[in-house]
Amino acid sequence: MTTHFISAEIDLQDNPLQLQKEIEAELEKHGKPLRWAITKVDQENETVQVEAIVTKQ
């Protein structure tokens, strides 16, 4: 298993639960999410910036 740092931009969603699901779905494209956080919100473009560590087998 290896650990990797990634950052991603994700569209804002209607509610926090949907946003959480979208973030985890996006991170799962890169590996298994271990730790993540939204670090910035861009209200003009309706996106959030996410930083994360994912693991890969």
State the residues that interact with another protein by CB under 8 A: 1-5, 7, 12-17, 19-20, 34-41, 43, 48-51, 53, 55
CA-nearest of 44, 18, 35, 19 to 10 is 19
Q: How far apart are CA 31 and CA 39, in angstroms?
A: 20
State the Cα angle at 20 between 19 and 21, rounded to 5°. 90
Residue 15 DSSP label: S
Smallest separation, CB 36 to another protein (Å): 7
Judged by beta carbon, residue 29 or residue 35, the one nearer another protein is 35
Smallest separation, CB 48 to another protein (Å): 7
Smallest separation, CB 41 to another protein (Å): 4
